[in-house]
Structure 1
Amino acid sequence: MNWTFTSENNLASTFASHINPFWQDSVKEGYFTGKDDIKVRYAYCIPETPQATIVICSGRIESYLKYKEFIYDLYQNGFAVFILDHRGQGLSDRMTRDPQHGYVADFDDYVDDFVMFVETIVKPLQQGPLQLVCHSMGGAIGALTLLRLPSLFSKAVLASPMFGIKPSLPNWLANGLIRTGLAVNRMKKADAGYFFGQTPYIAFPFSLNKLTHSKTRYALFRELYDEEQEIQLGGVTTEWLAAAHQAMNRIEDSAGAITTPALVLSADDDAIIDNKRQRRVARLMPNAELEIIPRAYHELFTESDDIRERSLSTILDFLTACTHTS
């Protein structure tokens, strides 16, 4: 299939001439109220006669505003797109005294929000099959959602899914550090605190970034977070890390029960994800194809054109292929 994607050449002017006007004209934004009265913000767009409805489950620190180019590309290729900002990040409500804290009490809270979003906002407007596209932490949330509701989505794409994170410490050490961190927070009588070595938001220069090879897309990402300061997020809290470890262990233990036809894209030069564990889990999923993207850093949707186009074409080919079930 011939898909068309934006290019990093003159991307700033493409934003001005095409992507931002599209966002003004075609994207609707709203919110719903999740558990503990947390406002969860979302956005969606529906082209005429879409071939399918894609729900995006984004990564840590992300906002749907960061996905404008990707959403535009999906829309131009005939897909309806729905995306939410997870609780505690993006434009959704924060939950601790410090809005920069990367915090969640339990990954099931993310899943509850996500399921509520799909059932109450997406399904009434769904056209064509319902498909899931995840990135990073969103891959862990997506996997937990597929475990809870195996028939919710007809297909799932997990890009750089967070089935393990670096540094991949042995369990006893990770658990020990997490326990110590939680004890420190209790002594401080704090609702949450940064894990050792984590800090508020820092905008790293491109030369130090391990997210993308695209200077243009990286610059646009940092510009966005400078302009829209309320979407900035710092490092993870000990609570988030404890919840993430629990979630990743659960996914690995239950991977055989993730039966939705899935495509797992593994970024070969990922510095964030423990690829060894990620690929091990992917191979335990009975209906998953594992595709390794050579030279790719963590963020496949904002990579340089060659890597991004290969990733996006692979995703859209997978989502539109006829599934033959025996």
Structure 2
Amino acid sequence: MDSILHASTDNPVPENHFAGFLEGRGGVKIRYAVFRSSTREAKGTVVLLQGRSECIEKYFETINDLTARGLWVATFDWRGQGGSDRLIAGNRAGHVARFSDYEADLSLFLEKIVLPDARLPFFIVAHSTGALVALSQAPSLENRIERMVLASPFIALDGQTMSQRKISIIARLATWSGLGKRTFRKGDPGLDFPRNIVTSDERRFQRNLAIVAEHPELSISWPTARWLNQALATMAKVTRQDHLTRIRIPTLLLCATSDALVPRAAVGHLARVFRAGRLIEIDGARHELFQEADRYRAQVLAAIEAFIPGSDAEDTSLGA
């Protein structure tokens, strides 16, 4: 078993990779890995950005899908989750001091690992919170990233017991009053398939449960008030027209039409006002598009393959 990456039931570590730790902002240890394609000439490198509470192991299947298509994959665990350092000692809550710390870690990863050790051109494929970070940082990524694919971008909240505005007010007040490291919920998120809202695929759901059952150190629980406050502030930033106008990287937005966490209407509106963006809807899919049933994943992978060809392919940009 790899000393840095962890195999689990039905989830072997992909071959032909190197992994390590990078020192992020403030000395936080960030776990990363780069997976090489077995093809003679790589078509480029996908920088794969996870969602909240995820880890590199959850994406082994997707990594194999991408390397089989001639792409290298470079990825890392966000600070506070997966195999990276936790930010609250002895606490499994999902926490971050500032979303700009995520952006700083991504910049450092690109500079220290991707640029010297991976293959051009570079693309971003991001899920949920990873897509939110990518959107936030995109104006400064134009000279390094050719194209972006953002799956279920976390740009608004849905399926909550109170409105996004009320959640924002409460999270902000809790943060200001020194309760930013507290969570609004106790215990762990639900772990049974019938009540889950993120995927319709039971096999992949159970596989992902096995990852954290066999390696509990990779798991985290609910987000803290400060995490929510930072996320909601970043959502407000990235959906402003002045910010979107500054993004010139051709971007493909993948929207799961049965997403119970991110409202379909919000992603549709973003696509309409985002000049560099184009939208593909995956009809019937739930939030975790890369963990969904084959009939949905096939559409996602086909869209990625069409949108991010290598440097030797024709320009099929869907950009502005």
Pair 1:208-2:208 in alignment: no
Shift of 1:175: 3.3
Pair 1:88-2:58 in alignment: no
State TM-score, norm by structure 1.
0.87
- Whole-Å separation in 1 of the counterparts to 2:267 and 2:225: 22
Specify which structure has the higher proportion of helix: 1
> 1:141-192: CA deviations, max 9, x gaps?
11112123223210000000111112476565233212343356x2xxx661
Structure 1 unpaired stretches of 5+: 1-14
Match among 268, 274, 277 for residue 266 of structure 2:
277
Pair 1:262-2:251 in alignment: yes
State TM-score, norm by structure 2.
0.89
Pair 1:78-2:70 in alignment: yes
Pair 1:244-2:231 in alignment: yes
Alignment of 1:1-326 (within 5 A): 20=12, 23=14, 25-47=15-37, 48-167=40-159, 172-182=165-175, 186=178, 192-194=181-183, 196=184, 198-253=185-240, 254-320=243-309, 322-323=315-316
Secondary structure, counterpart of 1:202 in structure 2: coil
Task: Flag the 1:28–1:201 CA change in 2: closer, same or farther, 3 A.
Answer: farther
> 1:252-285: CA deviations, max 9, x gaps?
1112222100100000000111222222123222
- Whole-Å separation in 2 of the counterparts to 1:285 and 1:151: 19
Task: Flag the 1:226–1:203 CA change in 2: closer, same or farther, 3 A.
Answer: farther
Shift of 1:99: 3.3
C-alpha RMSD of matched pairs (Å): 2.1
Structure 2 unpaired stretches of 5+: 1-8
Of 282-291 and 53-62, the range deviating more from structure 2: 282-291
Shift of 1:45: 1.1
Task: Flag the 1:160–1:172 CA change in 2: closer, same or farther, 3 A.
Answer: closer
- Count of residues in correspondence between the two structures: 303
Task: Flag the 1:191–1:199 CA change in 2: closer, same or farther, 3 A.
Answer: same
- Whole-Å separation in 2 of the counterparts to 1:293 and 1:199: 33
Task: Flag the 1:212–1:167 CA change in 2: closer, same or farther, 3 A.
Answer: closer
Percent identity at matched positions?
Answer: 28
Counterpart amino acid of residue 199 in structure 1: K
Of 144-153 and 294-303, the range deviating more from structure 2: 144-153
- Whole-Å separation in 1 of the counterparts to 2:224 and 2:56: 22
Asked whether the 8 Å contact 2:306–2:316 carries over to 1, the reply is no
Asked whether the 8 Å contact 1:55–1:133 carries over to 2, the reply is yes
